[in-house]
């Protein structure tokens, strides 16, 4: 019996058990192909508690603290996310971080503590998970397994660096950091409270508030504070001091090594990201304990960030350990390729660094079918990368060339599809939020929601938030309000929500979610009978040999007449217009018209029109 079949049977068994339970608080596990995911940057979404707001020491803009949103803020807007038709939320890492610009949660310091700058005295991360479940939303938690902060890991490992409050040098602190770079909210300006620190370090933890010294560095013998001396002792890491049970010790990666597998997966990413030895079972067991804490509070899925920087075998071993605690745990990996994303079969990128490789167990990069499903889904970067040349310009050319490689994946219906990710957008260079016409974005969502895979929306896309702005910092003077990570909460206030929900794309996405929820073929069906033309594309979604069956035609910039042959005979209705027609056994041909920038979704024995007409689905 195939692995995929076993997993489906297990899910069905779990679902049947849930039916017998009395009103379970946690939603039934279900099939994640049915989900529609709303991705949230917790610190930038909505501010539910101003008392936990916090400024990082880099790129400061007064009145816009980096840590502005929080767990309580998300809980207050769950009904908004649910109202758009989403079924799951994906959150940035919630655990405590340390770093000069750590608001995204990617520089973990303590995996056992939920970030105080996101928490409130009366509202914890566990409360958020419970609130989400009670709203009917599943929770997917982003996790970084390949590196920690350059302060080490609290209660586990201390990385020898000097307290920042003793630094004096070319870098000068800016408000609210006064006199030094120490934590301005800590009474003694300490950034590192690791109990694993040696006595000489701990001696300065709760005294000498302003770093006046003297502090003698036991490594260099220098006395601090002192101008322009040993900057690396405050901001750098000597990897020779790191223990191999915890860390790789193979230097820092540079851009010229982005296609070298061993460098990508064993070198440190940057001075704030120290590479963990994920091939060591000590680290694998450490993350098993961390994920168990997530599972114990009810998390439904894990998103592995920076997955390309970890060997596939290590991630498979980890997920096997995690599923000992929760067999139905959904796991997908963010494997961002450097090139087209298909590896040596189509180009020059090593196959061991591309998405499809992580979905398979095959030992041979040239034979994807040699072994089955790894149990890890991936984000569909090849489709995303094609958008710069097609949908960003309002047409579908080249989509077929992506779909023809679907056989590489263990299950293409598990692909997580997207138009924006945390640091990338769909235009040339992938540097900015989409800047094109609204109808072009609508066409992109039509494809993403109806083609195959699990659609995921980054917060703000529903109103073209920060349109055309960089997704990551470009200039040294850039601040968050000038990027796609600007604070979103102003659009979610009581005064702002009516305008937000009235936006043409918000209404468009809501209807797409309604249609997808009503037609199982659109989430679970095999992709068949595709045809691509510049102004449009057509295909069939067939679930369980016609149990649910939809013929889809998408049109871009002009009205389009579409004919699809070799379809199942029977009575069809269009979920967009409500029109009906019969397909005879002898012809097996379905012909229909689609308005520009809209879709035809002809469902065999379908329910008729679903939702209300908008600017694009009409």
Quote the CA–CA distance of 193 and 187 in Å, as a whole number.
12
pLDDT at 277 over 60: yes
- DSSP-derived letter for residue 165 is G
pLDDT, tens digit (0-9, with 9 covering 90-100), for 440-464: 999 999 999 999 999 999 999 999 9
From its phi and psi, is residue 438 left (phi > 0), alpha (psi between -120 and 50) or beta? alpha
pLDDT at 569 over 50: yes
Q: What pLDDT does residue 310 have?
A: 98
Q: What pLDDT does residue 581 have?
A: 97
Who wins on pLDDT, 27 or 326?
A: 326
pLDDT at 25 over 60: no
Strand 599-604 versus strand 570-574 pairing type: antiparallel
* Measured CA distances, 31 to 12, 14, 330, 457, 517 (Å): 9, 11, 9, 19, 12
Residue-averaged pLDDT of the chain: 93
* Measured CA distances, 570 to 131, 343, 522, 540, 590 (Å): 44, 42, 18, 15, 10
Q: Mean pLDDT, to the nearest integer, of 457-480?
A: 96
Q: What pLDDT does residue 206 have?
A: 87
Prediction pTM value: 0.94
Residue with tokens 């909505």: 46
* Measured CA distances, 223 to 164, 169, 170, 392, 564 (Å): 14, 14, 18, 57, 78
Tokens of 194: 């690791």
pLDDT at 335 over 60: yes
| Residue 589 near residue 493, CB atoms below 8 Å | no
Work out the angle at residue 86's Cα, subtended by the Cα atoms of residues 84 and 88, and round it to the nearest 5 degrees: 145
Q: Worst-scoring range by mean pLDDT, 1-10, 169-178, 182-191?
A: 1-10
| Residue 318 near residue 303, CB atoms below 8 Å | no
pLDDT, tens digit (0-9, with 9 covering 90-100), for 114-148: 999 999 999 999 999 999 999 999 999 999 999 99
| Residue 334 near residue 305, CB atoms below 8 Å | yes
* pLDDT bucket at 30, cuts 50 / 70 / 90: low
Q: What pLDDT does residue 207 have?
A: 86
pLDDT, tens digit (0-9, with 9 covering 90-100), for 51-102: 999 999 999 999 999 999 999 999 999 999 999 999 999 999 999 999 999 9
> What residues pair up with 580 in beta bridges, in sequence order?
573
């Amino acid at each position: 019996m195939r692995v995929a079949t076993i997993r489906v049977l297990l899910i069905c068994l779990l679902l049947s058990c849930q039916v017998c339970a009395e009103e379970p608080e946690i939603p039934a596990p279900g099939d994640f192909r049915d989900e529609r995911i709303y991705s949230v940057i917790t610190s930038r979404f909505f501010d539910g508690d101003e008392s936990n707001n916090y400024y990082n020491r880099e790129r400061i803009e007064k009145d816009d603290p980096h840590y502005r949103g929080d767990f309580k803020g998300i809980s207050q807007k769950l009904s908004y996310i649910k109202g758009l038709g989403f079924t799951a939320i994906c959150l940035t890492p919630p655990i405590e971080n340390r770093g000069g610009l750590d608001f995204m949660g990617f520089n973990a310091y303590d995996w056992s503590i939920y970030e105080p700058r996101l928490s409130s005295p009366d509202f914890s991360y566990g409360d958020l998970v419970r609130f989400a479940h009670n709203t009917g939303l599943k929770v997917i938690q982003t996790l970084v397994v390949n590196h920690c902060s350059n302060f080490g890991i609290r209660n586990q490992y201390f990385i020898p660096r000097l307290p920042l409050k003793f630094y004096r040098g070319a870098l000068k602190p800016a408000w609210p950091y006064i006199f030094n770079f120490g934590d301005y909210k800590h009474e003694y300006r300490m950034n590192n409270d690791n109990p694993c620190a040696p006595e000489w370090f701990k001696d300065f933890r709760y005294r000498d508030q302003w770093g006046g010294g003297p502090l003698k560095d036991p490594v260099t013998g220098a006395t601090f504070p002192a101008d322009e001396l040993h900057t690396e002792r405050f901001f750098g890491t000597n990897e020779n001091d790191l223990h191999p049970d915890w860390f790789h010790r193979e230097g820092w990666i540079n851009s010229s090594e982005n296609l070298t597998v061993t460098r990508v997966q064993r070198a440190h990413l940057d001075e704030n990201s120290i590479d963990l030895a994920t091939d060591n079972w000590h680290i694998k067991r450490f993350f098993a304990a961390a994920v168990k804490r997530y599972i114990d509070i009810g998390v439904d899925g894990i998103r592995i960030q920076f997955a390309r920087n970890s060997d596939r075998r290590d991630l498979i071993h980890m997920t096997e350990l995690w599923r000992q605690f929760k067999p139905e745990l959904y796991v997908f990996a963010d494997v961002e390729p450097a090139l087209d994303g298909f590896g040596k079969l189509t180009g020059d990128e090593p196959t061991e660094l591309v998405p499809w490789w992580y979905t398979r167990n095959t030992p041979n990069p040239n034979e994807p079918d040699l072994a089955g499903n790894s149990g890890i889904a991936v984000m569909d970067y090849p489709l995303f990368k094609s958008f710069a040349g097609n949908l960003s310009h309002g047409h579908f050319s080249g989509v077929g060339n992506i779909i023809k490689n679907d056989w590489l994946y263990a299950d293409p219906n598990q692909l997580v599809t997207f138009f924006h990710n945390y640091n990338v957008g769909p235009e040339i260079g992938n540097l900015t939020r989409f800047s094109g016409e609204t109808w072009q974005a609508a066409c992109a969502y039509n494809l993403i929601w109806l083609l195959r895979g699990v659609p995921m929306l980054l917060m703000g896309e529903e109103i073209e938030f920060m349109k055309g702005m960089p997704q990551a910092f470009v200039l040294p003077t850039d601040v968050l309000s000038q990027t796609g990570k600007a604070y979103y909460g102003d659009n979610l206030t009581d005064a702002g929500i009516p305008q937000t929900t009235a936006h043409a794309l918000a209404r468009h996405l809501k209807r797409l979610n309604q249609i997808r929820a009503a037609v199982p073929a659109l989430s679970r069906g095999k992709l068949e009978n595709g045809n691509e033309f510049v102004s449009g594309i057509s295909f069939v979604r067939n679930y369980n040999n016609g149990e649910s069956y939809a013929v889809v035609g998408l049109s871009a910039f002009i009205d389009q007449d579409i004919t699809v042959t070799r379809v199942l005979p029977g009575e069809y209705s269009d979920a967009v217009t409500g029109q009906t027609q019969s397909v005879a056994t002898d012809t097996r041909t379905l012909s229909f018209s689609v308005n520009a920038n809209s879709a035809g979704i002809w469902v065999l024995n379908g329910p008729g029109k679903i939702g209300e007409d908008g600017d694009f689905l009409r």
